[in-house]
Amino acid sequence: MAMGRILRQFLPSLSTAFVLLFPLAFSASDSEALLKLKKSLNNAGALDSWVPGSAPCNGPKWSWRGLVCQGGVVTGLSLDGMRLSGTIDVDALAQIPGLLTFSVENNSFTNTIPGFNRLGALKVLSLSRNRFSGEIPSDYFVKMASLKKVRLSYNKFTGKIPDSLAHLSNLVGLHLQYNQFSGRIPSFDTPNLNSLNVSNNRLEGEIPSSLSKFSASSFIGNPGLCGGRIGVKCYSTPNKTSTKIIAGMVTLGVIILLLVIIFFAIRWRKKKQTVSYVTPSGSSKDAVEVLQPKTEGSIKSADPDSNVSSPGKASVAELVMLNDKKGVFGLPDLMKGSAEVLGNGPLGASYYVRLANGVEVVAKSIKQMNALGRDSFDAEVKKLGKLQHPNVLTPLAYHYRKEEKLFVYEYLPKGSLLYYLHGDGGKYGCELDLRTRVKIVRGIAEGLDYLHNQFASRDVPHGNLKLSNVLLGPDNRPLLSDYGYHPFLNVDSLDRLFAYKAPEAIQKQTVSFRTDVYCLGIIILEMITTEHPSQYVNDGNGGTDIVQWVASAFSEGKQTELLDTKIKGCRNSVRCMEKLLRVGALCTKTCPQQRLDIEEAIRLIDEIILELKQFDII
Ligand SMILES: *[C@@H]1O[C@H](CO)[C@@H](O)[C@H](O)[C@H]1NC(C)=O
Ligand SMILES: *[C@@H]1O[C@H](CO)[C@@H](O)[C@H](O)[C@H]1NC(C)=O
Distance 144 CA to ligand 2 centre (A): 26
CATH number for region 417-613: 1.10.510.10
Alpha carbons 34 and 47: distance in angstroms, whole number: 10
**Whose Cα sits closest to atom 8 in ligand 1?**
81
> Of the given ranges (32-36, 137-141, 530-534), which has the lowest mean pLDDT?
530-534
Q: Which residue has the higher pLDDT, 344 or 95?
A: 95
Helix (H, G, I), strand (E, B) or coil at 202: strand
Residue 22: pLDDT over 60: no
- Among all ligands shown, which has an atom nearest to the Cα of 609? 1
Distance 434 CA to ligand 1 centre (A): 20
Average pLDDT over residues 242-249: 45
Cβ of 218 less than 6 Å from ligand 2: yes
- Mutation test residue for ligand 2: of 105, 177, 214, the one with most atoms within 8 Å of CB: 177
Residue 457 CB: number of other CB atoms within 10 A? 6
Sign of the alpha-carbon dihedral angle for 378, 383, 384, 388: positive
Contacts of 549 (CB under 8 A, 6+ apart): 531, 562
Average pLDDT over residues 59-65: 65
- Among all ligands shown, which has an atom nearest to the Cα of 229? 2
Q: Which residue has the higher pLDDT, 617 or 176?
A: 176
| pLDDT at residue 339, rounded to an integer | 79
215 Cα nearest atom in ligand 2: 13
| pLDDT at residue 262, rounded to an integer | 54
Average pLDDT over residues 184-195: 91
Paired residues of 341 in beta bridges: 351
Q: Give the CATH architecture of domain 319-410.
A: 2-Layer Sandwich (3.30)
* CA 553 to each of CA 528, 531, 543, 547, 562: distance values in angstroms, whole numbers, following the listed order: 14, 14, 17, 10, 8
Distance 506 CA to ligand 1 centre (A): 43
| pLDDT at residue 7, rounded to an integer | 29
**Whose Cα sits closest to atom 13 in ligand 2?**
218
User: Which residues does ligand 1 sit against, CB inside 6 Å?
Assistant: 81, 83, 106, 610
Long-range contacts for 550-555 (Cβ within 8 Å, ≥24 apart)?
550/525, 550/581, 550/584, 550/585, 550/588, 551/585, 551/588, 554/582, 554/585
Distance 88 CA to ligand 2 centre (A): 28
280-294 per-position pLDDT tens digit: 333 333 333 334 322
Distance 614 CA to ligand 1 centre (A): 9
- Among all ligands shown, which has an atom nearest to the Cα of 221? 2
Residue 454: pLDDT over 80: yes
Distance 154 CA to ligand 1 centre (A): 13
| pLDDT at residue 557, rounded to an integer | 85
Q: Which residue has the higher pLDDT, 73 or 500?
A: 500
Residue 111: pLDDT over 70: yes
Q: Which residue has the higher pLDDT, 516 or 60?
A: 516
**Whose Cα sits closest to atom 12 in ligand 1?**
106
**Whose Cα sits closest to atom 1 in ligand 1?**
81
Cβ of 436 less than 6 Å from ligand 2: no
**Whose Cα sits closest to atom 9 in ligand 2?**
217
The vertex-241 CA angle with 237 and 246, nearest 5°, equals: 65
What does the mean pLDDT of the chain come to? 79
Between the two ends of the chain, the Cα-to-Cα distance in Å is: 47
Q: Which regions of the chain carry the CATH code 3.80.10.10?
A: 79-230
Percent of the chain with pLDDT over 90: 45
Distance 83 CA to ligand 1 centre (A): 9
204-231 per-position pLDDT tens digit: 999 999 998 898 899 999 888 988 888 8
Alpha carbons 33 and 37: distance in angstroms, whole number: 6
| pLDDT at residue 327, rounded to an integer | 87
Q: Which regions of the chain carry the CATH code 3.30.200.20?
A: 319-410
Average pLDDT over residues 42-54: 86
Residue 491: Cβ-neighbour burial (10 angstroms; 0-12, 13-18, 19+): exposed
263-275 per-position pLDDT tens digit: 555 444 443 332 2
| pLDDT at residue 533, rounded to an integer | 76
Q: Which residues of 531-568 are buried (b: 16+ CB within 10 A; e: fewer)?
A: bbbbbbeeeeeeebebbebbbebeeeeebeebbbeebe
- Among all ligands shown, which has an atom nearest to the Cα of 211? 2
| pLDDT at residue 45, rounded to an integer | 87
81 Cα nearest atom in ligand 1: 2
Alpha carbons 555 and 237: distance in angstroms, whole number: 66
Residue 36: pLDDT over 70: yes
Q: Which regions of the chain carry the CATH code 1.10.510.10?
A: 417-613
| pLDDT at residue 424, rounded to an integer | 54
The DSSP symbol for 508 reads: H
User: Is CATH 3.80.10.10 the classification given to domain 79-230?
Assistant: yes
Percent of the chain with pLDDT over 70: 78
412-439 per-position pLDDT tens digit: 988 888 877 876 544 556 677 888 899 9
560-614 per-position pLDDT tens digit: 888 887 776 677 788 889 999 999 999 999 999 999 999 999 999 999 998 888 7
614 Cα nearest atom in ligand 1: 7
Alpha carbons 470 and 420: distance in angstroms, whole number: 10
